């Protein structure tokens, strides 16, 4: 059987529409499982094992052909009008490779489908590169609907709520990558600031930030160790909220 490019050939698109539009696990060149890249630098971890779900319910994708210097900001700022990101990890080029690769996990299958639809129609580009997207070999189920996201907004005394302080505090307690850290509001008179922190992932990053903010607010010993009384007092005024993920919006 003659094969066509799933991105550019209209005959393949028509066949796809007539078959099952949202079952992207059957896309030519997008198998339900794919071998792990030789770029993978992680370790065996239960969180990296496939869940017991159908391939067409998975929200995990494997993206190759990214720019060699691809950053979290480069990748995630290229995704719009799709869905919330649950997890994102970029692997730099290996000794033999010239491009980067990434695992992207959307919050739910609806967001995954929207993104794959954009990819099929050639709308996904990172810088001047047009990456290849396939289903990840590790199957990952949708997350329950909620207002949680990879974006955390923090408000409180500016002595605490600033980029230098919060990044130093977070680095003491968990590993993370940022797309962006931005100041939304600052009142010179009241010394109150509001910031938005866009982590690369909700899992183990934005979720961890929320936990450690609450622990510091509550004065938990493992969170406030080494802080003086004034610092502890200021932490009690800090609040966090979940912000919208720009990957979901226009």
* Better-scored residue on pLDDT, 68 or 26: 68
Domains 10-135 and 151-243 share a fold: yes
Decide the pairing of beta strands 239-243 and 178-187.
unpaired
Question: DSSP for 32-65?
Answer: S--PPPTT------GGGSPPSS-GGG--EEEEEE
The CATH number of the structural domain formed by 10-135 is 3.30.70.330
Q: 40-54, 56-70, 85-99, 154-168: which has the minimum mean pLDDT?
A: 40-54
- Who contacts 17 (Cβ-Cβ below 8 Å, separation ≥6)? none
Task: Give residue 178's pLDDT.
Answer: 97
**Structural domain boundaries in the chain:** 10-135, 151-243
Strand locations in the chain, DSSP E?
60-66, 85-91, 100-106, 132-135, 151-157, 178-187, 192-199, 239-243
Task: Give residue 3's pLDDT.
Answer: 32
Q: Domain 151-243 adopts which CATH fold? A: Alpha-Beta Plaits (3.30.70)
pLDDT at position 66 over 90: yes
Q: Whole-prediction pTM value? A: 0.82
pLDDT at position 174 over 90: yes
Place of tokens 């995630």: 76
Task: Give residue 250's pLDDT.
Answer: 84
């Amino acid at each position: 059987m003659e094969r066509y490019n799933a991105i550019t050939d209209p005959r393949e698109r028509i066949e796809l529409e007539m078959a099952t539009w949202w079952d992207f696990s059957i896309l030519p060149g997008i198998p339900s499982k794919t071998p792990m890249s030789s770029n993978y630098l992680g370790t065996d971890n239960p969180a990296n094992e496939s869940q017991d779900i159908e391939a067409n319910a998975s929200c995990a994708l494997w993206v190759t052909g990214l720019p060699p210097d691809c950053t979290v900001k480069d990748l995630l700022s290229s995704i719009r009008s799709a869905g919330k990101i649950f997890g994102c990890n970029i692997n730099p080029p290996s000794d033999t490779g010239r491009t980067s690769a990434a695992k992207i996990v959307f919050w739910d299958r609806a967001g995954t489908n929207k993104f794959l639809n954009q990819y099929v129609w050639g709308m996904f580009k990172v810088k001047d590169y047009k990456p290849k997207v396939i289903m990840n070999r590790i199957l990952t189920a949708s997350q329950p609907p909620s207002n949680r996201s990879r974006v955390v907004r923090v408000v409180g005394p500016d002595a605490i709520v600033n980029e230098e302080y919060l990044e130093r505090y977070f680095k003491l307690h968990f590993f993370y990558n940022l797309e962006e850290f931005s100041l939304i509001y600052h009142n010179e008179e009241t010394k109150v600031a509001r910031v938005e922190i866009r982590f690369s992932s909700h899992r183990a990053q934005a979720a961890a930030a929320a936990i450690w903010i609450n622990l510091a607010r509550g004065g938990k010993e493992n969170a406030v160790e080494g802080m003086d009384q004034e610092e502890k007092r200021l932490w009690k005024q800090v609040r966090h909220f979940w912000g919208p993920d720009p990957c979901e919006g226009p």
